[in-house]
Amino acid sequence: MSENSLGFSLSDCEITLEDIWFPNLIIINQVSAEQKLRFTRVDSQGNAKYVRRLMSTFSNDFLFKDFPFDNQILKVSAIAFEDDDVELVLDKENIKMNDIFSVEGWDITQLDPIYYDANSLGNSSDFSKVEIRFNAHRVRSYYIWKLIIPLCLIVLMAWAVFWIPPAMLGPQVSLSTATIFTLIAYRFSIGYQLPKIPYFTKMDKFVFASTLIVFMALGVAISTSYLATKGKEQLALRIEKNARFIYIILFILILLFSFLF
């Protein structure tokens, strides 16, 4: 329809939503929305433009198995339910991340959108779907310096028990128990920084395995001290010497399997 056929100009014409048809657009993962702006405009060719600006909260499913080295995909999923063919196309000029946008502890980058049609969605109805996606990359340096390295030092402190002669029961037990208490305090202090989920993350595996190896060091220290008191000091020394290498190899394997596999 042109303005000549109507006998008057449609340029910058403003009308209400009730006067025009517009797609039934639904944001699938929208939790709440506060409307900031809403209007329609018709150009000189009769094309209606519907503008709506919202401040919204969205839900996304996160998988934390790789914590604290995880990446998360944030999505805004929109779908148009229509009887007629409606194709959703993003305006790349206007849909982009603000340069000053930031989230503490994360590096956010925008990804290419994904388009779906009725065939790809496995539905006989005529509708299309689009996902606006962002990649959230967790800043790892904080967790390396605040969580991983302190725990490594605690584990290495327990390793020092194998360098104390088995006959010196007091220093061995004192060092081992001090390490255990330090580890318990550490686990309490990091509890609030770990995600509350029903499965193990990489960090959980590292903490659990490190706890086992520290208690193992305590057990070996008590055993060698017991052997030394029974007159088997040479056997106790051999066990300690072997334990020095076995312990550090086990700890390296724990690091590798916790964070690389």
CATH number at residue 179: 1.20.58.390
CA distance 113 to 131: 5
Does 180 lie in the same domain as 103? no
Does 42 lie in the same domain as 101? no
Structure tokens at 156: 């290495």
| Pick from 151, 241, 221: nearest CA to 189 | 151
Specify the number of domains making up the chain.
Answer: 3
Please state whether the peptide bond connecting residue 68 to the residue before it is cis, i.e. omega within 30 degrees of 0: yes
E-assigned strand segments in 43-170: 48-58, 71-81, 106-110, 114-116, 127-138
CA distance 252 to 219: 20
- CA 44, 46, 50 angle in degrees (round to 5)? 105
Res 2: pLDDT: 46
Tell me the per-residue pLDDT of 213-250, one tens digit each, with 9 for 90 and over.
999 998 998 888 888 888 898 999 999 999 999 999 99
129 located within any domain: yes
Those residues of the chain that have pLDDT short of 50 are 1-3, 5
Res 144: pLDDT: 94
Q: Specify which residues 72 forms β-bridges with.
A: 136
31 contacts 42 by C-beta, under 8 angstroms: no
Res 28: pLDDT: 87
Does 225 lie in the same domain as 167? yes
Does 227 lie in the same domain as 167? yes
80 located within any domain: no
